[in-house]
Amino acid sequence: MDYLNKEFSYLLGLAVSKGRIVQESMSIYIDFKHKFEYIQGIKVCPNDNSLITESRKTGNFTCKNEDCKKIFNLDELNIKKWDQVESTKKSLLEIIAPLIESLDGLKTSLIGNSQVSILKVDFTNNKKMFSYMLELLNYEKTFKNTRIPDLIIDEGNEETNIEFFNAVLDTIGYFNSGNHYTNGRMRGYIQIVDNLKLTNDIDNFLYSAFNLPVQTIRWSHPNIVDGNLKYYFGTSREGWAKENQIKFFPEFYKIFTPKIIHKNEMMEEQIKFNENKYLHQKSNSYEKRISPLKNLNNIAAKHPEENSIKLDKELRGRHIDREWQIGVVLGSPRIYDLYDLNDDNKEIFFETGEVTFDNSYETFLYKKKSISENKFKELEEKNKNKVKTNSKKTSSKLLEVETYYPLQVWLKNHIKENHNSDSLVFDSSTTNLNNIDFEGIDEIIEEFDDFDIKPDVVGITYNNKNIFLIESKVTKLSLEDLSQTIGYSKVIQPTEAFLISTEEISSNLLFLLDVYPEVLKYNATQKVKIGKLASNEVKFYDL
């Protein structure tokens, strides 16, 4: 089937980077986010074209140039401003929708709200193309699991490759001036949610299709996001699980032209700014990104979340000191070509940043390990004291995400004590379910994928695959919360289903439960258990 033209490649790019695929209605929904109504351009010093930044201490807007340091009142500066919502809708209706509808039989429609515009692409009149699309997307249902298809990698030409990447920029590319490099040089970035492998695919594609440099990658990994274990010892143990960001200097990316109008204009503004100031500086190549670990400087502290099931299998249990190591593990032609890596020297390169190492290799690994373990112990000690002195403060209200970890610990114990089994317990809202690999649960995981919103915490016993669900709230429980839990439970039929809040039940729900006690039931014999979370313990209501 020969579908690979510019338009199809663009559509495929949208689906890979931000698509949700609905087989039943033969459609793909694509998100275009615009969190705030307005977005501002770069604040430039009129004297020397340097960047003006806000000081965190004083709140003043000051020129970054050490010789200038002038303080500005924002009103006297000519800062560009875009209405993101309007620009996104206009671009979708006038540019992107007509382009997609030029493909045989495809229809589009637009829905959304103040924070997101969603383009629905309806394939009902071209079933063949839809089946082909499903195949290319490897039958994945959301952008959290998609990869760049081989069709693009192996058969793309310059034109189709450019259009594919334009689509990536339109959906998950950003040109916010706040994400500049330390010296003030502007960076564009691609933000990939919950999909480390797609992040690696995009980096590889930029290299193999265009030979373009990337400045750095902020991978969603505990050693990288939470190097000093602030989240770990703080309120959010899994706070390291953020979006991945590929950062690049836009002046090298001129071949691309986003179709979302404000992104296009913001990119142009960044290019102009950088060319005015930084053209003499060469791009950041991988050679510079890879710093050998031999001198044992900056070894990261060990992080217990290195074993998290949120990490892809290849990375689980691996300690990471530098971002490029993740590329080595996941497979990076950029690095492999540069250093002639193969299966024999890959591992040594991962550990050392060098292709060969003398006979002190084992000693080196040992030293590295003990440094990172000692750093962990130091941080642990430091934070123990902190908790003691701040214990009064911790009574403040929890966020919903902060309840997930204590609930996971509680559920594991509860299953062990009451069902005599070890279990896999995870928070399903942010865990990439494709990473969970233990035999016999594929079908269960498939069913979870059908929910738009997932139960917060899920437990599955190792012995007979019994399922446990927790829906967690930090507000007074309402009938709406209960209905959601009942909904999951009717589909999944868990061994136990819990609705747990840090607050009491609302008076209205209490009343309803008294009048209609059957609303708790999700089958003939089982009902949802309602509890309250306090000091990491759950107390159940007698209902």
Residues near Zn ion, by CB under 5 A: 45, 47-48, 50, 63, 65, 68
Cβ-proximal residues to 452 (8 Å cutoff; 6+ apart), any chain: none
Task: Give the nearest distance from C-beta 298 to Zn ion in angstroms.
Answer: 33
Task: Give the nearest distance from C-beta 280 to Zn ion in angstroms.
Answer: 19
Beta-bridged to residue 190, according to DSSP, are: 173, 246
Q: Which is nearer to Zn ion, 68 or 543 (CB)?
A: 68
**Phi and psi angles of residue 462, each rounded to the nearest 5 degrees, phi first:** -70, -35
Q: Which is nearer to Zn ion, 186 or 470 (CB)?
A: 186
Q: Which is nearer to Zn ion, 181 or 210 (CB)?
A: 181
Q: Which is nearer to Zn ion, 46 or 440 (CB)?
A: 46
Q: Which is nearer to Zn ion, 72 or 462 (CB)?
A: 72
Tokens of 268: 């142009």
**Beta-strand pair 529-534/496-501:** parallel
Q: Which is nearer to Zn ion, 62 or 195 (CB)?
A: 62
3-class SS at 83? strand
- Which residue type sits at 484? Q
For the chain, how far is it from start to end, CA to CA, in angstroms?
Answer: 60
Per DSSP, 301 falls in state: P
Using alpha carbons only, give the angle 55, 59, 60 rounded to the nearest 5 degrees.
75
Cβ-proximal residues to 405 (8 Å cutoff; 6+ apart), any chain: 236, 237, 238, 427
Please, what is the angle between helix 158-172 and helix 261-277, to 10°? 100
458 near 469, Cβ under 8 Å? yes
Tokens of 255: 């071949």
27 near 121, Cβ under 8 Å? yes
Find the helix or strand (DSSP H, E) in which 92 lies. none
Task: Give the nearest distance from C-beta 62 to Zn ion in angstroms.
Answer: 9
Q: Which is nearer to Zn ion, 275 or 503 (CB)?
A: 275
460 near 492, Cβ under 8 Å? no
162 near 256, Cβ under 8 Å? yes
Using alpha carbons only, give the angle 258, 262, 265 rounded to the nearest 5 degrees.
75
Task: Give the nearest distance from C-beta 76 to Zn ion in angstroms.
Answer: 13
Q: Which is nearer to Zn ion, 186 or 469 (CB)?
A: 186
**Phi and psi angles of residue 425, each rounded to the nearest 5 degrees, phi first:** -125, 130
Please, what is the angle between helix 261-277 and helix 84-91, to 10°? 110
Q: Which is nearer to Zn ion, 65 or 345 (CB)?
A: 65
Task: Give the nearest distance from C-beta 277 to Zn ion in angstroms.
Answer: 11
Q: Which is nearer to Zn ion, 45 or 528 (CB)?
A: 45
* 217 vs 224: CA distance, rounded Å: 10
Task: Give the nearest distance from C-beta 64 to Zn ion in angstroms.
Answer: 8
Q: Which is nearer to Zn ion, 63 or 335 (CB)?
A: 63
Q: Which is nearer to Zn ion, 52 or 241 (CB)?
A: 52
* 69 vs 48: CA distance, rounded Å: 11
Q: Which residue has the tokens 């590329």?
A: 327
Task: Give the nearest distance from C-beta 72 to Zn ion in angstroms.
Answer: 9
- CA-based radius of gyration for the chain: 26
Tokens of 116: 């997101």
Q: Which is nearer to Zn ion, 71 or 543 (CB)?
A: 71
Summarize the chain as % helix, strand, coil (round to 5).
45, 15, 40
176 near 39, Cβ under 8 Å? yes
* 142 vs 449: CA distance, rounded Å: 9
Task: Give the nearest distance from C-beta 65 to Zn ion in angstroms.
Answer: 4
50 near 63, Cβ under 8 Å? yes
- Which residue type sits at 109? S
